[in-house]
């Protein structure tokens, strides 16, 4: 500020001196005024230069001014740098926030006061079937063609969720999408979406599971109750008494088998996958389950089945021995139960060229129609319910096999056609197989 005052006084003085030397004394005042005018013009040019720079706000190219204007430019440059850093930091936080919303498994849509799409993450676009870039500014009611959603938007009551059908892999298999609106700001709205297809499917499976278990247990309980009531109210001779007790024992054993299979499934689903520390001889596993299957065949079939072992080099298998035995035993017992007496059953382990180990069971039974094959590993699914109950099956055996295979990183495969028998394969990955 002092420098500007010095410059002004200097120019006024020089103007006055110029006026005094150039003419009469009355020119002295005019020269002083002229000096003041020249200083004002020069100072105004510097101010204009500074204003231009402020309008551009380019901190990398500052004007070369001296004095108070230079100080002002330097101070403004520092302020602009701070503001620029804050803006960059805010932009980075905004980008992180938007990236986090993009990564969210839930859909997020921002709507303006008129219900137009201001922003959307990819999840919401997939849930509702629109393009997050192309459809910006479109009315959301035009994008989501659902009478339930239209009524929900018009009602203004957003205290509850609604469910609509979303785009699915097939028109006949739509997904279930849950939506809820949350008002914010000046009449703006936040629309949240969730894919609840899996939740609904799990709930349906839970209801079906409870219903199936109740049905499976109720049948033998009814039989037991009937026999108990009969034995309590009617005098029986020894032969009838023995026959009734045998039937009661059979039904009790059926319930015990069902409970055992349910506990096995529960244990498989609730425990971590087995490690690769235990190596078991494939021939040892095979011999054990074949002996069990031959005993079962002699107990339930007349004549007994011909159960043969495929001759193949033995190898080591890694995993939980009890689980592998359970899966192999279920495959063999199913073959025994569903193959007529005297039929042929073959079982064996085979080492594949890709390093996998495959346990296979082939039978000469009636075979399975193609439409049943995809559902065989579902709990309580039976191709022939009456036949399963006659042979003592619970409908859980193949579900156990599937879980054991998956826990060991493998899979189960079925090859069958009506009248030509069936072949079941349980394949384990090469990481769980070691040649001798």
pLDDT of residue 328: 94
Note whether 118 and 207 are same-domain residues: no
Note whether 72 and 19 are same-domain residues: yes
Note whether 214 and 299 are same-domain residues: no
Q: Which CATH number characterizes residue 174's domain?
A: 3.30.450.20
How far apart (Å, rounded) are the C-alpha atoms in residues 178 and 195?
6
What would the pLDDT profile of 128-146 be if each residue is shown by its tens digit? Answer: 888 888 888 999 988 888 8
**Beta-bridge mates of residue 317:** 280, 433
Share of the chain above pLDDT 90, in %: 24
pLDDT of residue 414: 92
End position of a domain, from candidates 195, 230, 254: 195
64 Rama class: left (phi>0) / alpha (psi -120 to 50) / beta: beta
282-300 and 321-338 are packed helices; what angle lies between their axes, rounded to 10 degrees? 30
Domain count, the chain: 4
Q: With 90 as the cut, is the pLDDT of residue 289 above it?
A: yes
Reported confidence tier of residue 239, pLDDT bands at 50, 70, 90: confident
How far apart (Å, rounded) are the C-alpha atoms in residues 178 and 199?
11
DSSP 388-404: HHHHT--S-HHHHHHHH
Q: With 80 as the cut, is the pLDDT of residue 412 above it?
A: yes
End position of a domain, from candidates 80, 97, 114: 97
Mean pLDDT of the chain: 81
Which of the given ranges, 92-106, 110-124, 269-283, has the highest pLDDT on average?
Answer: 110-124
pLDDT of residue 255: 82
What would the pLDDT profile of 349-377 be if each residue is shown by its tens digit? Answer: 999 999 999 999 999 988 888 888 888 88
Q: With 90 as the cut, is the pLDDT of residue 53 above it?
A: no
Q: With 90 as the cut, is the pLDDT of residue 274 above it?
A: no
Note whether 59 and 158 are same-domain residues: no
Q: Which CATH number characterizes residue 371's domain?
A: 3.30.565.10
Q: With 70 as the cut, is the pLDDT of residue 159 above it?
A: yes
Note whether 214 and 302 are same-domain residues: no
End position of a domain, from candidates 225, 248, 271: 271
> Model's pTM, two decimal places?
0.56
Note whether 286 and 392 are same-domain residues: yes
Q: With 90 as the cut, is the pLDDT of residue 285 above it?
A: yes
Reported confidence tier of residue 50, pLDDT bands at 50, 70, 90: low
Handedness of CA 218, 219, 221, 225 (dihedral sign): positive
Note whether 277 and 264 are same-domain residues: no
DSSP 8-class letter at 90: H
pLDDT of residue 267: 79
Note whether 310 and 389 are same-domain residues: yes
Q: With 90 as the cut, is the pLDDT of residue 392 above it?
A: no
Q: With 60 as the cut, is the pLDDT of residue 20 above it?
A: no
Note whether 87 and 226 are same-domain residues: no
> Please, where are the H alpha helices in 271-346?
282-300, 321-338
Residue 211: which domain range?
Answer: 201-271
Cis peptide before 393 (omega within 30 of 0): no
Q: Which CATH number characterizes residue 246's domain?
A: 1.10.287.130
pLDDT of residue 231: 82
Is-contact 408 319, C-beta < 8 A? Answer: yes
Note whether 331 and 254 are same-domain residues: no
Note whether 322 and 372 are same-domain residues: yes
Strand stretches in 172-305, DSSP E: 173-184, 188-195, 279-281
How far apart (Å, rounded) are the C-alpha atoms in residues 333 and 318?
23
pLDDT of residue 411: 93
Is-contact 3 68, C-beta < 8 A? Answer: yes
Note whether 211 and 254 are same-domain residues: yes
């Amino acid at each position: 500020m002092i420098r500007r005052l010095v410059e002004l006084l200097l120019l006024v003085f020089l103007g006055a001196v110029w006026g005094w030397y150039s003419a009469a004394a009355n020119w002295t005042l005019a020269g002083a005024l002229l000096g003041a005018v020249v200083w004002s013009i020069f100072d105004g040019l510097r101010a204009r230069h500074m204003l231009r720079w402020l309008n551009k706000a380019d901190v990398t190219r500052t004007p070369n001014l001296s004095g108070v204007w230079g100080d002002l430019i330097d101070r403004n440059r520092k302020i602009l740098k701070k503001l620029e850093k804050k803006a960059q930091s805010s932009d980075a936080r905004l980008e992180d926030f938007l990236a986090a919303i993009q990564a969210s498994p839930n859909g997020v849509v921002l709507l303006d006061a008129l219900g137009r799409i201001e922003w959307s993450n990819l999840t919401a676009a997939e849930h509702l079937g629109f393009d997050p870039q192309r459809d910006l500014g479109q009315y959301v009611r035009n994008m989501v063609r659902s009478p339930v959603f239209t009524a929900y938007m018009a009602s203004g009551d957003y205290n509850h969720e609604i469910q609509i059908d979303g785009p699915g892999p097939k028109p006949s298999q739509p997904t279930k999408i849950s939506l809820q609106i949350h008002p914010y700001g000046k009449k703006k709205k936040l629309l949240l979406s969730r894919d609840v297809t899996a939740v609904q499917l799990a709930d349906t499976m839970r209801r079906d599971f409870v219903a199936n278990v109740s049905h499976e247990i109720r049948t033998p309980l009814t039989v037991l109750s009937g026999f108990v009531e009969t034995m309590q109210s009617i005098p029986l001779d020894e032969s009838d008494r023995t026959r009734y007790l045998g039937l009661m024992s059979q039904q009790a054993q059926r319930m015990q088998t069902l409970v055992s299979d349910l506990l096995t499934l529960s244990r498989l689903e609730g425990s971590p996958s087995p490690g690769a520390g235990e190596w078991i001889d494939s021939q040892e596993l095979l011999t054990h389950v074949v002996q069990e299957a031959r005993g079962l065949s002699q107990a339930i079939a007349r004549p007994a089945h011909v159960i043969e072992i495929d001759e193949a080099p033995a190898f080591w298998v890694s995993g939980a021995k009890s689980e592998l035995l359970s899966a192999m035993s279920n495959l063999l017992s199913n073959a025994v139960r569903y193959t007529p007496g005297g039929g042929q059953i073959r079982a064996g382990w085979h080492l594949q060229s890709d390093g996998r180990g495959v346990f296979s069971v082939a039978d000469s039974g009636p075979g399975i129609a193609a439409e049943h094959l995809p559902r065989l590993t579902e709990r309580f699914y039976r191709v022939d319910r009456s036949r399963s109950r006659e042979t003592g099956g619970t409908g859980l055996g193949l579900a156990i096999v599937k879980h054991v295979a998956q826990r060991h990183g493998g899979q189960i495969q079925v090859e069958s056609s009506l009248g030509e028998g069936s072949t079941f394969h349980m394949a384990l990955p090469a990481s769980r197989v070691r040649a001798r």
